Structure formats: C-alpha cells, structure tokens
Amino acid sequence: MLTIQLLPPARVNDQIARPQSLWLLLRLCLAADAPTGEDWLLADELRDAHPQASHLRMLISRAFSDFANWGVQVGWGLDRSREPSWLARAKRNRGPFWLAPGERNRIRINIGERPARPEEVRLWLGMAAPARSKKSRQSILAATGPDYWFRYAKARRDMLDGQLIVDAEHGALAGFRMAAKQTSDRRMQALALLQQAMVWRRAGNADAAMQVLDELTRLRRPQSGAEIGWLGAMAEVVRAWCAYAERNLAEAERLLQAARVDPRWRAHFQYHPRVQTEQANLQALIHRARALDANRPGPQRMQDAAQAIQHYRSALSLAHEAELFDGAASAASNLGWTLWLFQHSDISVPDTEDDMPLRWIALASWLAETHGNALSAWNQIYLLRMVRAGGPSAEGPDMPGFRAWPVLSPAAYRQQVAPIAIPKQPSRWLDVVRAMQAEIDRGSRQIDALQRANVLLELAWYEAYEGEPSASTRAVARLRQRLRELTEPDRAFFRAALGRLPARP
C-alpha cells in the first residue's frame, strides 16, 4: 500500500516527495479514476502544467526514478498490453503515461487522517473543476464556432509568416493549442493537433512532433468515434518526415509505403492535394539523399536522381492545382537546389540540361512574396550558396585567393532570372545574410538547428569574402558551438566547410 499525504509538506509513505513527481502520480490517479475510459495522461498536459521546466525529459526521468523508489509501476505509450519494464525508455518522454493494472488500488490519497476528495486532489494539482454539462453530439459540433476558427486561422497565418514558437500565447504553436481547447469535436481537435505536429517538425523538434502525433493516434482510436479522414494520412506523412529529419531514410520510406497501402489512407494518397504534395516532397528528399550518396553504384544514383526531380515536379504541379502556394514555393525551391546539387556532383538527369537552378529559386521567392508568405530560410540559404558556386574547394585557402573567387552579384542575379520579378536585394550578399542573422538573434525568425548552422556558415563565408576576418572568426566560433545540436553527418559537412574558409593570419 502507498499512502500520499497532501498536507504540507506533501509526503509519500512519510517521506517528503518531489513536487513535480507527486504531481504526475496524482494526475495519473485522477486519470485512472475518470469515467471516460481514457485513463492516461498526455505529454502535452504535463508540459502545460510545468511551463517553467526547461527540460521536460529531465522532469520525467526524475519522476520515474521516484516511482521506482515508491514501488509504483507507471507505463507509457499507446500499447497498454506490455509490462512497463519491457517498454522502450527512449520513447518514454513522448507519453502518454498510465498506471499499470492494479496500481491505482494500492494508492491511498489522504488529507490529514481522512481520504482526499477528487475535487481536493484537483485543487492541489491546480486544475479547474470538471464541466458537468450533458451535451449532445449536435451541440458539440455546433460548439466549433468562431473562436475556434479565429484561433486556427491566426495560427495558420503565424505559421506562414514563420512565427512558429513565440511564447504561451503567441505564435503558431500557441494558437493551434488554444484552438484545440475551443472545441469538443474530436475531428476539429485532430485538425489543430496535426498543425501542432507540423509546427514542431518545421522547428526541428522531431521528438515533440512525435508526441503530438501519438496524441492524434489516440483521437482516432475506434472507441473515440472520431472520423478524421485525410488528417490521419497527413499524420503518417509527418511521422515519416520526422524519421527523415533524424536521417533514417529507410524508416521514412517504410512509413510512407505502409501509409500508402493502408486501406484507411490509400484514397487520400491518391486524391488529396495536401497529402499528395507533402508526400511527393518527402519522396524527392529521400531519392535526392540516395542520389548524392557516393558509396552507391552509379546507375542506382542516376535512377534516384531522376526520381527526385520527377517527385519535385509533381509536387510543384499538385500544389499549384490546389492553390497551395506555400507548398508550391517549397517545391520550386527544392527543385532548384536539387538541380544545382546534381550539376555540381556530375549527376546527369535527362531533360534537365536547359534548367537554370537559380530561376527556380527566384520563382520560390516570387511565390512567397506574391502570396504574402514569409521567405523560406532554406530558399535564402540555397541562393547564398549558389551565387558563390559553393566557394573554393581547397582547404585553408589564402585570403587574397579566397576574395578573388567569382561571386554572382545581386544585380547580375536579378538580370539572370528575369522576367521573374523578385524583391530588390541589397548591393552585397553579406547584407542579406546579416539581416537574416539579426532576425534570428532577436527572435523574430524561428528556424531549426540545421538552418541556423547554415546561416552562420554563410555569414562566416561572406564576411571573410568581404575582407572582415575578425567578424568571420566570431561567426565560425558561434557555428562550432552549434554543431552539437546536429546529427553526425551534418556535423561532418560543417567541419569540412569550415576547413575551406581562409585561415586567419
């Protein structure tokens, strides 16, 4: 038997308990007592309850250490049939969390000498009293009113503007969370959840995206009665994106293939434009990575290169047909960058000989500008690298030789991509990348770790090129500090790139 005493200082079996660990255990007890049958706790609720916790993973790790000391078995994940001791700890922080069978009956919650009432436990946890309304399904549907759609539309606008994660009340993530709380309709909740996962994915936090996708999986359980249609298919695409972000190409392709043949999603992969566009973009990325793998046989690389280009062209066409101009800009940008990479890797793709990669980059910029969306950080990074043709390939070049390297000027770039009209650039590329870095530093532009590293690389390169070695050295130092945030293949790329900068005299 485990006895929890709520009178301060709160104790478990007469030992003072860590507040956050006790909060989680008490919340799990309330979940187990709930009449709805959903006797688990989502990771998002734990995060919302402890916004001051900078490292949720550490909070969870300490809580499970306390659970072990208290002799309480707590599980995690969607598979309730497995013993907690057999669950993968690597996925523990994603939740959802639940008490193992029989554990709730072993726990007593007291205030002084008497049992605590549920409302008293909720008060200790800082939770609002549960609603006691008896709404029909029709009233639930009707409850998805203007407040939901206002929050959702505003969050979507923030997402297009690049305002991904600002604070608890501002930015796309906060907006989609608030939207989900404005409705009791599970399909509308699923729509907001899917967008939250996409925000986390774009912010480079695959782990947080997977947590939200697990919650979405809970919503589409048969007993939930939620008909979420294309949202389920899109969730599987985002799950595959997360695998790709971790450089697990095989898993990303496996997830995509499984989703495409799943009877629940098959029609959406064939006919839904958003699903088709996103999966085509991801397929192209997978094939591009394989085409650029120098360890693979030449014929296979050529085949993958052709498939990558085909998928990007398909994504661009699908996005335009559905008037998904953010998707169209992304596809155009990736197509231009991919063509440039293949040209500089001696990979020949039929029917691309006359393609000018910079014109695709310009098209992506024009699409974003014309339709009021934020300029893609990737598109700007690609442009900065392409106009310098990658830079000298020799290690440790001397400064005069480095500064003599030919770089296409902003004016020459505008002339080359005409008649595509693009916003007028400053006279130097250094001013472009410095403006990007300033936006990142003041928090007005949120991009993921890999993008931040690329911006710092371009900053260091152009500062050296413009004869500012001290400033370049500072940018290099900042970049080296960020390498720990990246995967090993990405760290290797940046180490090699830094080696091609001129040594400071």
Span 347-375, pLDDT tens digits: 888 777 677 899 999 999 999 999 988 88
Mind listing the pLDDT tens digit for each residue in 186-231? 888 889 999 999 999 888 888 888 888 888 877 765 434 345 678 8
**In the predicted model, what is the mean pLDDT of residues 104-112?**
92
Question: What is the pLDDT confidence band of residue 133, given thresholds at 50, 70 and 90?
Answer: very low
The pLDDT, as a whole number, for residue 428 is 94
Mean pLDDT of all residues in the chain?
Answer: 87
Residue type, 27: R
Pairing of strands 97-99, 15-16: unpaired
Burial profile 302-327: b = 16 or more Cβ within 10 angstroms, e = fewer: bebbbbbbbbbbbbbebbbeeebbbb
Residue type, 216: L
More confident site: 375 or 29? 29
The pLDDT, as a whole number, for residue 42 is 77
**In 44-89, where do the E strands start and end?**
74-76
Of the ranges 96-110, 173-187, 204-218, 379-393, which one carries the lowest mean pLDDT score? 204-218
Question: What is the pLDDT confidence band of residue 470, given thresholds at 50, 70 and 90?
Answer: very high
**What backbone torsions phi and psi does residue 318 show, to the nearest 5 degrees?**
-60, -40
Residue 132 has pLDDT above 70, yes or no: no
